[in-house]
Amino acid sequence: MGKALGRHILLELSGCPYALLNDVEYVRKSLLEAAERAQVTIISDSFNMFNPHGVSGMVIIAESHISIHTWPEYGYAAIDVFTCGDSALPERAVEYLVEAFQPEEYTTYVVKRGILREEIPQAACEIDTRRVSCAG
């Protein structure tokens, strides 16, 4: 398998305090701080408070995004930390978010995004969308 263009960390938080997950300003500040800790470039952010509860928000970063959807009534939050390039430190963002939202349990899934195949010399190969066949 080749090099990945980015890492997408899915963070599942459960057993979080209702008050933290239902405070749009706390959620916003936490995601912005997570971006700072990941050493990424913040472009913009947008957050929305739902009635009667719940927050959704996103921090757009030059390297991709950090997003959250909360269900305070269940103590649950789904967070994505997606970064491209080699300079970002998404694991630091995840560590901070776990600290900030105080879950009883959490799970992370790391997905490599944009996996590039090793370069194959064009003169030696014929490529179609279903298969690669190489001469000699």
Which residues are designated catalytic?
64, 69, 84
DSSP state of 50: -
Burial class (CB in 10 A: 0-12, 13-18, 19+), 32: middle
Give Cα separations from 132 to 5, 111, 118, 122, 127 (angstroms): 22, 25, 12, 11, 5
Instruction: Map 75-121 to HEC letters.
Output: CEEEEEEEEECCCCCHHHHHHHHHHHHCCCEEEEEEEEEEECCCCCC
